């Protein structure tokens, strides 16, 4: 069995993403903590945490990488009809904790959630610091869909989404992509491929292409685009 590095809690560093395992795909390191500084450093390097209760913190950087280029999002005919109804409201960052809670609810496949209490506390801290954001779809005062993620520079790193009504998460992604396109974002990182994401225009790109986008769009010197005025 191939060993992976164990990260200390008193130093913030990660091995190069190119050292990630092929099986399981993308496993790079374990240990460390979920401090804001470590999480932001991880995302800038194309790395994210993903683990279950009872496991150590596990860090991943899979290849290929699933992304959506905001200007190239695919909107199906049925989704266009849903968008035209306009019987819902889109809000940002008004119910971050509620969105995380909804994303952590058990899914129909019976699998447990990876959004542990530790993860929820860490990302809510990032939200308080202005790095983590929620996209919320409301109808008649009820939260019917949404997603949350991290905005760094000109990259949005999507983490999880949910639907309490049909198309709830699709509405959230669509409005997020519109905002990202208007504000000059390079891409929306979706991490791992799924048919649901592919139906919305997600594509898989190689690690070098993804890391190049991060170097251009998520370096510490790049200004935060999330709070730019929309035209």
Q: What is the pLDDT of residues 59-100, one digit of tens each?
A: 999 999 999 999 999 999 999 999 999 899 999 999 999 999
pLDDT reported for residue 231: 37
User: How many Å apart are CA 49 and CA 94, to the nearest integer?
Assistant: 25
User: How many Å apart are CA 94 and CA 218, to the nearest integer?
Assistant: 25
- What band does 173 get if pLDDT is binned at 50, 70 and 90? very high
Mean pLDDT of 135-154: 97
Check whether residue 81 and residue 127 sit in a common domain.
yes
Least confident of 100-109, 162-171, 185-194, 201-210: 100-109
118, part of any domain: yes
Q: Give the residue with greater pLDDT, 158 vs 108.
A: 158
Domain total for the chain? 2
90, part of any domain: yes
User: How many Å apart are CA 27 and CA 49, to the nearest integer?
Assistant: 10
By residue range, what is the domain housing residue 47? 6-62
Q: How distant, in Å, are the alpha carbons of 4, 19, 75, 135, 205 from that of 175?
A: 39, 35, 11, 8, 23
128, part of any domain: yes
- What band does 230 get if pLDDT is binned at 50, 70 and 90? very low
CATH number at residue 156: 3.40.630.70
- 82: enclosing H helix or E strand: helix 77-85
Q: Are 100 and 66 in contact (CB under 8 A)?
A: no
Check whether residue 39 and residue 98 sit in a common domain.
no
Check whether residue 87 and residue 135 sit in a common domain.
yes
pLDDT reported for residue 86: 85
Q: Are 134 and 142 in contact (CB under 8 A)?
A: no
pLDDT reported for residue 227: 81
Check whether residue 111 and residue 38 sit in a common domain.
no
147, part of any domain: yes
Check whether residue 25 and residue 99 sit in a common domain.
no
- 60: enclosing H helix or E strand: strand 58-60
Share of the chain above pLDDT 90, in %: 89
Please give the backbone phi and psi of residue 40, each rounded to the nearest 5 degrees, phi first: -65, -40
229, part of any domain: no
137, part of any domain: yes
pTM equals 0.94
């Amino acid at each position: 069995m191939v060993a992976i590095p164990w990260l200390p809690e008193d130093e913030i560093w990660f091995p190069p993403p190119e050292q990630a395992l092929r099986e399981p795909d993308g496993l790079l390191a374990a240990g460390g903590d979920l401090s804001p500084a470590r999480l932001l450093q991880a995302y800038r390097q194309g790395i994210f945490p993903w683990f279950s209760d009872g496991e150590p913190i596990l860090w991943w950087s899979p290849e290929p990488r699933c992304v959506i280029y905001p200007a190239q999002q695919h909107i199906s005919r049925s989704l266009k009809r849903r968008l035209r109804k306009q019987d819902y409201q889109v809000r940002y960052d008004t119910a971050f904790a509620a969105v995380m809670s909804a994303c952590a609810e058990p899914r129909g496949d019976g699998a447990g959630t990876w959004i542990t209490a530790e993860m929820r506390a860490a990302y809510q801290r990032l939200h308080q610091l202005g790095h983590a954001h929620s996209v919320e779809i409301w109808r008649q005062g009820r939260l019917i869909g949404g997603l949350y993620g991290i905005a760094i520079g000109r990259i949005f790193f999507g983490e999880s989404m949910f639907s309490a009504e049909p198309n709830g998460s699709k509405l959230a992604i669509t409005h997020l992509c519109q905002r990202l396109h208007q504000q000059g974002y390079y891409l929306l990182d979706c991490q791992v491929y799924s048919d649901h994401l592919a139906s919305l225009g997600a594509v898989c790109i190689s690690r070098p292409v993804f890391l190049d986008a991060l170097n251009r769009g998520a370096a510490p010197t790049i200004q935060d685009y999330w709070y730019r005025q929309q035209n």
